[in-house]
Copies of this chain bind each other. A is one copy, B any other.
């Protein structure tokens, strides 16, 4: 997705592309709601850790971080957050998490979870200072968030105790438990509920159908977001699972709100659109 936008910016995109990853429904499910459950599942299956009373630091308070924080707090962990973005940091405050620099809590936490999309968020220097028996894992983009390479040095011993679980052993006997060698915990050590797959597959299928059926000229060689109405359609297809009943607008109400009774239901200025145009005039 990131690469698509870079191609688009460089004028090298040869076909229209649909950024399904940032459709609201997929975003929330793949990231927030799915990770809220898979962080617990991934940690339990690999380490059988008890969550109650554990001190955990979550690096990054985007959708993934929000999901991880909510779940762990709900099960009695004490959760700290690190952030680079002041808006997300303020959200973390309001949601009841202390916002700290990693170094402030590195000696006391039992678990580190990275969800930043950044690299070297946990450095060797910090791993050196972690407690014996602490756990470090990654729920973010790639396997670079934890500087795992820095742990492959002669003075440290690696012991594979179980599939996806390594004990990294310091000369003084301290053990840090590294999960999935720093790759994504939710993909490596947890399962994805079929419900989430259904949301994702539906979104992708609808995007392809839209691109295929769209009249000539609707989409240029650019990156687009799924039209709001289709995003709503994906959601509405999944409501019966929960026996959820939508309220319908009366004619009078639709007119009052300036909306079509069948959606899209957010006023135009909520709509998602191709957010980077090729000609750069946008900002």
Cβ-defined contact, A117 with B257, below 8 A:
yes
Q: Is A181 an interface residue (CB 8 A)?
A: no
Are the CB atoms of B256 and A89 closer together than 8 Å?
A: no
Is A191 an interface position by the 8 A CB rule? yes
How many whole Å from A29's CB to the nearest CB in chain B?
A: 8
Q: Give the residue name and chain of the B residue nearest to A243 (CB).
A: B108
B118 and A235 form a contact (CB under 8 A): no
CB distance from A114 to the nearest CB of B (A): 12
Within the complex, what minimum Cβ distance (angstroms) separates A188 from chain B?
15
**What residues on B are CB-neighbors of A108 within 8 Å?**
243
Residue contact B44 to A37, C-beta cutoff 8 Å: yes
Hey, what's the 0/1 contact readout for A193-216 against B, CB within 8 Å counting as 1? 111100000000000000000000
CB-based contact A53/B94 at 8 Å: yes
Q: Which 7 A-B pairs have the closest CB atoms?
A: A74-B74, A99-B244, A50-B193, A86-B236, A53-B93, A85-B265, A86-B235
Known: A19-B269, A120-B252. 10 other contacts (CB 8 A): A5-B268, A36-B75, A45-B45, A50-B196, A52-B96, A84-B248, A101-B246, A118-B253, A119-B253, A119-B256
